[in-house]
Copies of this chain bind each other. A is one copy, B any other.
Amino acid sequence: MSAATASRPPRRPAVRTRVLERGEGGSTITLSTLPEGLRVVTEAVPGARSASVGVWVGVGSVDETPRLAGASHYLEHVLFKGTRSRSGPEIAELVDAVGGELNAFTSHEYTCYYARVLAEQAAMAVGVVCDVVLDAVVAAPDVDTERQVILEEIAMRDDDPEDTLADAFAAGVFAGHPVAQPVIGSVDTISAMTRGQVAGYYRRRYSPERMVVSVAGGVDHAEVMHWVRTAFAGRLGEPRPPRPPRTGSGRLGRVRPLAVVERDTEQAHLCVGVRSLPRDDPDRAALEVLSTALGGGMSSRLFRTIREERGLAYSCYAGTSAYADVGSFSVYAGCQPENLGEVAGLVRRELDDLAGGGITDAEVRRAKGQLAGSLVLGLEDPESRMSRIGRTILTRPDHRSVDRSLAEIAAVTPGQVTAVAARLLTGHRSAVVVGPYAGTDDLPGAVAELVR
């Protein structure tokens, strides 16, 4: 070692910063990656009066062992109960006192803690959200109080037919895969989970290389970096690369064809669908066009056939879900039980027609226009922008600009949509009904025919 090099302090790894996109309305999207693996992405929006702040943590229900089912969501509750420097009431008061919103949500693959405030409160919001995520106490009495709150939340889910249906559909279509399990856990696992289990899950999982801080609105990147560095001071740990996006477990069992959840409701609620495409599949844009044409608006096939022409349902639509390695494409309709057979028959007719190449050029054109327009319309508020950039950085190998998404939609051809429909809609279908039925034998025959 030469004297010259020996006299230099050890080189501190540099923060890497780059502009990802010049976005809608003159905004600038910038990403910094800290040596310790933390990523900070901002969208500075000229003229925005508010700011949305999110901390995205790559921890969700797919990370849980069976005994810990619901632990990710449990944590989301407990972290707001107090940190080493702020009590739960102090956290709530800080944000309430300026009319802001502080909340969080948990999904299968990640958890997001966020706040929405006036731009002049953005520094405070970054400080509070990071404090909650990094420095929660997870005290035993708080774990017990939140246990009761979560059991109430499970009871609410059970009283909501559409929420019950969504969980039951995921269980059937994703049978054998971790995303088949409800994010909220079960009465059994929540009742049994100890403070030690919740705190251990927190300690093991909540590390900077699994986190993305995302801020959009009336802020600039340099000031956000300063606030984040202050909030993470002493908590960044050793240098290491950011955790790459999940690849998924790949485990999948056989699709469950049909199930009933008995409820004493006025309406019967039907969901039927197939496994479809994971998040990064190149055919995702074609699938979104297909889903939009089938049930994405007032001019979609389902809305016209079931509601507008026959008045059989108030609510009917199609949708997709997408995870690292799996996805679904499904149809929902809610109707009075005497109409369930007719509704199921109409849904089947549309699915079979699309599988057989029945989509028209006009439908594809309209669906593409709808997707492109709603993508741009959806970017007007800082909250949507914060979600788009944060979720993308956490879950995808690279940033996706709005222009790229628009180009992908524009490039979809009727032939691609037909091919995707033929491939997916001829697969095994899974259906669930929530309503006044004791079992699958009670259902009209047309429901069983849907999944035959």
A residues near B (Cβ < 8 Å) are: 24-25, 46-50, 80-81, 88-89, 91-93, 95-102, 116-118, 121, 144-149, 151-153, 155-156, 158-161, 264-267, 296-300, 303-304, 307-315, 334-336, 365-366, 369-377, 379-382
Q: Report if A89-B336 is in contact (Cβ < 8 Å); known contacts: A98-B369, A99-B373, A373-B117.
A: no
Task: Report A294 CB to chain B, min CB distance, Å.
Answer: 13
Contact between chains at B377 and A116 (CB < 8 Å): yes
Q: For the complex, give the distance between the alpha carbons of A296 and B365 in Å.
A: 45
Shortest distance from the beta carbon of A385 to any chain B beta carbon, whole Å: 12
A92 touching B158 by the CB < 8 A rule? no
Cβ 8 A contact of A159, one of B98, B161, B300, B375: B161
What residue of chain B has the Cβ atom nearest to residue A264's Cβ? B264
Query: Are A377 and B99 in touch, CB under 8 angstroms?
Result: yes
Of B101, B118, B314, the contact of A152 (CB 8 Å cutoff): B314
Q: CB distance B311 to A98 under 8 Å? A: no
Closest chain B residue to A24 by CB distance?
B49
Counting from the closest, the 8 A-B pairs by CB-CB distance are A99-B373, A148-B311, A92-B298, A155-B266, A99-B374, A92-B299, A145-B311, A152-B314
Please tell me which one of the listed residues B25, B121, B307, B309 contacts residue A47 in the complex, with CB atoms under 8 A apart: B25
Interchain CA distance A123-B374 in the complex, whole Å: 18
- A376–B380 Cα distance when bound, in Å, is 16
**Quick check: A376 and B49 within 8 Å, CB to CB?**
yes
Given A99-B374, A376-B49, A93-B366 contact (CB < 8 Å): yes
Q: Are A149 and B89 in contact (CB under 8 A)?
A: no
Taking each of A144, A304, A308, which has the highest tally of chain B beta carbons within 10 Å of its own beta carbon? A308
A145 touches B49 (CB 8 A): no
Tell me the complex Cα distance, A81–B95, Å.
45
In the assembled complex, how far is the CB of residue A92 from the closest CB belonging to chain B, in whole angstroms?
A: 4
Nearest to A98 among chain B residues (CB) is B373
User: Given contacts A99-B370, A159-B265, are A145 and B377 in contact (CB under 8 A)?
Assistant: no
B265 close to A376 (CB less than 8 A): no
Contact (A266, B373) CB under 8 Å given A308-B88, A314-B149: no
Which chain B residue lies CB-closest to A160?
Answer: B160
* Residues of B close to A101: CB separation below 8 A: 377
**Is A145 a contact partner of B336 (Cβ separation < 8 A)?**
no
Instruction: Check B152 against A334 for contact (C-beta < 8 Å).
Output: yes
Interchain CA distance A153-B101 in the complex, whole Å = 31
CA distance A17 to B282 in the complex (A): 54
Q: How far is the CB of A64 from chain B (nearest CB, A)?
A: 21
A24: chain B residues at CB < 8 Å are 49
Please state if B88 and A148 are interface contacts (CB–CB under 8 Å). no
Cross-chain contact A366 with B314 (CB below 8 angstroms): no
Instruction: Point out the residue from B118, B309, B311, B369 that lies within 8 Å of A377, measured CB to CB.
Output: B118
With the chains together, A376 CA to B158 CA distance in Å? 36
Closest to A312 in B: B148
Distance of A414 from chain B, by nearest CB (Å): 16
Complex Cα gap A313–B88 (Å): 17
**What's the least CB distance linking A338 to chain B, in Å?**
11
B366 and A336 form a contact (CB under 8 A): no
What CA separation (Å) do A310 and B310 show in the bound complex?
A: 49
Task: Report the separation of the CA atoms of residues A146 and B308 in the bound assembly, to the nearest whole angstrom.
Answer: 8
Partner of A267, one of B102, B155, B304: B155
- The answer to whether B99 touches A371 (Cβ under 8 A) is yes
* Chain B, Cβ-Cβ closest to A144: B311
Q: Are B267 and A369 in contact (CB under 8 A)?
A: no
- Nearest B residue to A46 via CB reads B47
**CA separation between A153 and B335, bound complex, in Å?**
9
The answer to whether A311 and B155 touch (CB under 8 A), given A96-B298, A102-B298, A366-B97, is no
Q: Which chain B residues border A156 with CB–CB below 8 Å?
A: 266-267, 314-315, 334
Residues of B within 8 A of A153 (CB): 314
A365–B91 CA distance with the chains assembled, in angstroms: 16
